[in-house]
Amino acid sequence: MTKSSLLSASALSLGVLAAALSPAAAQSQTEFKVAWSIYVGWMPWGYLADSGIMDKWAEKKGISVEIVQINDYVESINQFTAGAFDGVSATNMDTLSIPAGGGVDTTALIIGDYSNGNDAVILKGEGSIADLADKPVNLVELSVSHYLLARGLDTVGLSEMDLDGVVNTSDADMIAAFATPDVEAVVTWNPLVSEIMDTSPDANTVFDSSQIPGEILDLMVVNTETLADNPAFGEALVGAWYEVMSLMAEGDEEVLTAMAEAAGTDLEGYKAQLEATEMFYDPADAVAQAQSEKLPETMTSVAEFLFDKGILGVGAPSADFVGIEYPGGATTGDPANIKFRFDASFMQMAADGAL
């Protein structure tokens, strides 16, 4: 999965345009489109589309839902922001920076998991994260990799200023880059982490997302107005998702193998990636995550990081520029500019067997 926040002016302009158009566009409808991209925690979207589970739930709700795989993760979020999709798989950070920061009111419908080791800082050779001082680090700039690096450096009293620069590197080039003599360290995510660790004997993980549990959340986000006008859309997505979650929780190897192959690995490789992912197979666990007292603190930290990098939104005056609403009505950021909402109600319906 390419977990990059492409915070270009053009992407944000798309968000502003979409925000201006969305009130007129949001209405009752029966056909929906959702985008997803390759990542261990998002492989269920491909499976529920291919298996017919999505069609079954959509038909039950009297609608149709097209699930579309987009190979470029950033592009999938940009297209959602521009209104081409009604939902998209995205991290909490990228949701805040791109659609929400661009003015599109966006709801986290499903909290699927949090990265629990899938994102990692990898040093070439022996050492610790403190040994990144005075070294260049290759990563997808302004992404969750950049955030992970900042969090890791902070644990040893360092900052990006102590490095010999950050080198913006596409995820498509990361494995090849690590093999070159000039690259001393990279920050990336699975399946790239696994491949680097498996093929490079001198690769050394010095910090990973298991050390900041719950901070890198993997979501299915949808347009808030579309969801409000079409609750059947949310019910169908959530119902289909948790049917697949139950199969995964049971260890259904046919299901897991299908996901592994779609991810370009084998069953054991996919299981290894799942071990570094805190999957919320039970909707009650996802509801608890959404209602966690730590979530507002995490999102405040993410907003501060984005503002510090100048990528929270066009002309954002402070880290509080975008308002975020949580279950129960608590907010962080600007309460007059709520553009990111964590809605646990549909997941609660799944937990209650009410779908």
User: What residue spans define the domains of the chain?
Assistant: 9-114+216-351, 119-211
Tell me the sheet residues that pair with 217: 114
Quickly tell me which residue has 């084998």 as its tokens.
266
The closest of 278, 271, 257, 237 to 89, measured between CA atoms, is 237
Task: Give the pLDDT score at 26.
Answer: 53
CA–CA dist 127, 137 (Å, integer): 14
Furthest C-alpha separation in the chain: 59
Which CA distances in Å does 20 have to 82, 138, 293?
Answer: 10, 37, 33
What tokens appear for 116 in the block?
A: 């629990």
CA–CA dist 140, 166 (Å, integer): 9
Top CATH class of 9-114+216-351 equals alpha beta
Q: Is 229 exposed, middle or buried (0-12, 13-18, 19+ CB in 10 A)?
A: middle
Asked if 319 contacts 312 with a C-beta cutoff of 8 angstroms, the reply is: yes
pTM for this predicted structure: 0.87
The closest of 144, 122, 147, 148 to 135, measured between CA atoms, is 122
CA–CA dist 158, 129 (Å, integer): 9
Can you tell me whether residue 89 is helix, strand or coil? strand
For 304, phi then psi, to 5°, come to: -65, -40
Asked if 239 contacts 351 with a C-beta cutoff of 8 angstroms, the reply is: no
Do domains 9-114+216-351 and 119-211 share one topology? The answer is: yes
Top CATH class of 119-211 equals alpha beta
Quickly tell me which residue has 């510090």 as its tokens.
308
Q: What's the start-to-end Cα distance of the chain, in Å?
A: 30
CA–CA dist 143, 132 (Å, integer): 19
In order along its 355 residues, the chain shows pLDDT tens digits of 444 443 433 344 444 444 444 443 457 899 999 999 988 999 999 999 999 999 999 999 999 999 999 988 888 999 999 999 999 999 999 999 999 999 999 999 999 999 999 999 999 999 999 999 999 999 988 788 999 999 999 999 999 999 999 999 988 899 999 999 999 999 998 888 989 999 999 999 999 999 999 999 999 999 999 999 999 999 999 999 999 999 999 999 999 999 999 998 999 999 999 999 999 999 999 999 999 999 999 999 999 999 998 888 778 999 999 999 999 999 999 999 999 999 999 999 999 999 9
What tokens appear for 180 in the block?
A: 């070159």
What tokens appear for 113 in the block?
A: 């998991």
Tell me the sheet residues that pair with 69: 36
